A and B are shown apart, each in its own frame.
Chain A
């Protein structure tokens, strides 16, 4: 038997214990490779928690994906019922049976039709199982639910001995078996099957909290192997089982320097001039009506224009409403939807549990492969779980998106009265960039202010910007900052006008002083001129009279000489007389 095991062990990789991949989304991650090869695994849980389905998917996926035929021994449902039940999950049992990939054997046991009359064993079951295994060369076996035997056969001591033999026998056959068991009071299974199947035990659970059901899976035990120990939510939908091992995702998503423009140039400028980092998570929080969705629309519109695919997860508005509202701010999203670049997923949060949301998103990401995702709003999810659950879910969601390298914008509604810097769900620590849009109520007016509370890894602006929603989209303007006040809206306008007026007055005053000075100077100069001209005229006058005097004197001297000559006076006398006249003239 062990020889059979070897070829498959390669698939599992470096795990020491050979494992068989289940092919079930997420389960192989939790169990680090799958179920123990060649050993039985117990799947237990209460009624309706999905045991049969898990087992069936294990078998079908084994047959389809890993080429490992399987045998399904059904104690509770007959072949037709089973075929019908799993057809809703996309498994075509009939076809697989025809192709000799799967054998379904319905074991019917009805106590009222059975009379015990002494010693017996369950060799018949062994023979059937053996026959079924051999007929298709099965590597996988499911026994669902063997506990039906306890109801059908009164002698439990025989039964227990036979069960022990059965599980030993299954190991000898080298088949990987899944045994399902109903959960008991305080025990894993009602009849203590865990006593026999000790290698791997998986427990399923179906809980309803506040009317919303959640399915959970836990690997209780896995001998010889590491495994995730948490409770993992899982889902059963049209593609089968999916477990979300997202808490195990780890923080190894890549981070690059690539940027995604926000669609608003001024906002890009606030974020180091380039916008968000690609693959980062962005939180836009604010009270209602602050324009969070509009910010998201800009991002989406811009991305679609570049030809990127966007996923819009809306939980409060219909897609039509979103598109209409987008139009009112000058953004037409309809063409992007038509081109297949924008996909709306609209669902009320209460429509399903948290896990369902996660899985829906997960599936959408896989199918649609967007580069941008918008969750509008994340706060809507608080309705459907406790804070811890919602936070855990969001963490998974964000990790999931980050791992897929998707730039995610989440809007978060903050209720009035709360601390604005504390979102309803404490997710801010998960976010790389946090934009806060806040109301500024002042002077009978409500305006919006936007600032970047944080943005990891970039030198973002610390300034508050006024956030204007116009019919051409969002615009950011500077706010009035000065005199210890921050003003926006009309108050900003008023203040600006006031300042302008004041400045004009000041300017006017300055001009006036200047002019006064000029005038003073002119007066002074005028006076100087006047004095000068006065002086000049006096000077002129004086000089003139001086000249006249001199002329007169000259003339007088000449005259006396002439007269003397005429009187024929002595030369000496004449000269003397001239001198004395001179003196006299000086004396005067």
Chain B
């Protein structure tokens, strides 16, 4: 099962990643903060794809122009899982602004994602 995931990840996860990274440089003139987000996935599983789509949507809505998303495929770089203490897949890590926050799951619950990212108080 993992073997198939791996293959799928190799073939199609990369374009998604590069695409997103390139989108990062926006003119965040007035915004003091830069949002640095990392999405950890393991191959192109349906959950990963859903998570990425959800994340993109939320960021466009709330953080337009001042965010950067890096997708990390752990199947390719398993050693990276250790650094950010990744257990669950998918996991979104807010590297910046500090403090680091972790959001796990496919990000389908938008309310909770916003709470997790500190974009909406309470929850």
* B108: A residues at CB distance < 8 A: 117-119
Residue among A109, A119, A153 with the most chain B CB within 10 A?
A: A119
* B105: A residues at CB distance < 8 A: 116-120
* B101: A residues at CB distance < 8 A: 113, 115
Q: Is A124 an interface residue (CB 8 A)?
A: yes
* A195: B residues at CB distance < 8 A: none
Q: Is A131 an interface residue (CB 8 A)?
A: yes
Task: Judge whether A120 and B113 touch: CB under 8 Å.
Answer: no
Of chain B, the residue at the smallest CB distance from A131 is B78
Q: Is B91 an interface residue (CB 8 A)?
A: yes
Task: Judge whether A116 and B112 touch: CB under 8 Å.
Answer: yes
* B85: A residues at CB distance < 8 A: 107-109
A526 to B87, CA, bound (A): 136
Q: Is B71 an interface residue (CB 8 A)?
A: no
A540 to B57, CA, bound (A): 179
Q: Produce 1/0 per residue, A127-155, CB < 8 A to B.
A: 11011000000000000000001001100
A105 to B112, CA, bound (A): 30
Task: Judge whether A123 and B109 touch: CB under 8 Å.
Answer: no
Q: Is A249 an interface residue (CB 8 A)?
A: no
Assuming the contacts A109-B85, A113-B100, A113-B102, asked whether A127 and B109 have C-beta atoms less than 8 A apart, the reply is no
* A149: B residues at CB distance < 8 A: 87
- Minimum distance in angstroms from B23 CB to a CB of chain A: 22
- Minimum distance in angstroms from B122 CB to a CB of chain A: 13
- Minimum distance in angstroms from A136 CB to a CB of chain B: 13
- Minimum distance in angstroms from B38 CB to a CB of chain A: 12
**B53-85 interface with A by 8 A CB criterion:** 54, 74-75, 78-79, 81-82, 85
Task: Judge whether B74 and A117 touch: CB under 8 Å.
Answer: no
Interface bin, chain A: 20 to 34
Residue among A117, A120, A131 with the most chain B CB within 10 A?
A: A117
Assuming the contacts A113-B100, A114-B104, A115-B102, asked whether A122 and B89 have C-beta atoms less than 8 A apart, the reply is yes
Task: Judge whether A115 and B106 touch: CB under 8 Å.
Answer: no
Q: Is A222 an interface residue (CB 8 A)?
A: no
A118 to B103, CA, bound (A): 10
A368 to B45, CA, bound (A): 63
Task: Judge whether B88 and A121 touch: CB under 8 Å.
Answer: yes
- Minimum distance in angstroms from A141 CB to a CB of chain B: 16
Q: Produce 1/0 per residue, B30-50, CB < 8 A to A.
A: 000000000010100101001
* A108: B residues at CB distance < 8 A: 85
**Which residues on A are within 8 Å of B, measured CB to CB?**
105, 107-109, 113-128, 130-131, 149, 152-153
